[in-house]
Amino acid sequence: MDRIYQEIASRCEALVHQIVELAVQYKKLDQTKKQIEAEFQAARRYLQTGFDDPAVKRAYQRISELKKELSSPSKRAQKVVEGKSHVVIRLLQEHSETGLDADEIMSLMSSNGTEIDRSYLTTILGKLRKKGMVVKEGKKFFITTPGQNPITPLRLVKSAQSAATASSH
């Protein structure tokens, strides 16, 4: 047999090994996919039993949207990296009933893989407050309802006499 035929035959053997190896990998991937899909469906059904809790329902909807986004090649290509301000807004929306203080926001951002400096977080929260998107009650920050004016803080007058002198000036 000529040398060229030997090289081609050898290459074909190598390709057969790769084809068989890929077939084994596909089989393992199919099995893993079936296990993951079964677990996902079970978890999804369980979440559906908790729809009386609005937070559970929102989490379920967020998961459904995530699956649609990740499954769509065009949406995946259009996916924009979420900015730190957007992460803060999203976290405050997710905790709209209880609110979050700055330490909690920093902790949640860190656990979501977004590192932030405390002074930068304070700047973001200050800008969101000026825009009327966030209010602060005590140490907690709350997201405001879109389309509603935020509660404007009242200016306290120390005494009636101070008010009279303030109005005369």
Q: Which residue in the block uniquely carries the two structure tokens 């899909």?
A: 37
SS (H, E, C) 22-58: HHHHHHHHHHHHHHHHHHHHHHHHHHHCCCCCHHHHH
Share of the chain above pLDDT 90, in %: 44
**Residue 68 or 61, more confident:** 61
Q: Which has more pLDDT, 165 or 128?
A: 128
CA distances from 72 to 64, 116, 161 (A): 13, 30, 68
Phi-psi region of 138 (alpha: psi -120 to 50; beta: other; left: phi over 0): left
pLDDT at 157: 47
Comparing 150 with 121, which gets the higher pLDDT? 121
Which range (10-14, 47-51, 82-86, 88-92) has the least confidence? Answer: 82-86
| Domain coordinates in residue numbering, the chain | 1-48, 51-79, 84-143
The CATH code belonging to domain 84-143 is 1.10.10.10
Closest CA to 95 of 140, 126, 133, 63: 140
Beta bridge partner(s), residue 141: 100, 136
Query: 101-118: b or e for each residue (b if 16 or more CB lie within 10 Å)?
Result: eeebbbebbeeeebeeee
* Residue that the structure tokens 């090994």 belong to: 17
pLDDT score, position 71: 76
Give percent of the chain with pLDDT exceeding 70. Answer: 80
User: What tens digit of pLDDT does each residue of 64-110 get?
Assistant: 888 887 777 665 444 455 688 888 998 999 888 889 999 999 999 88
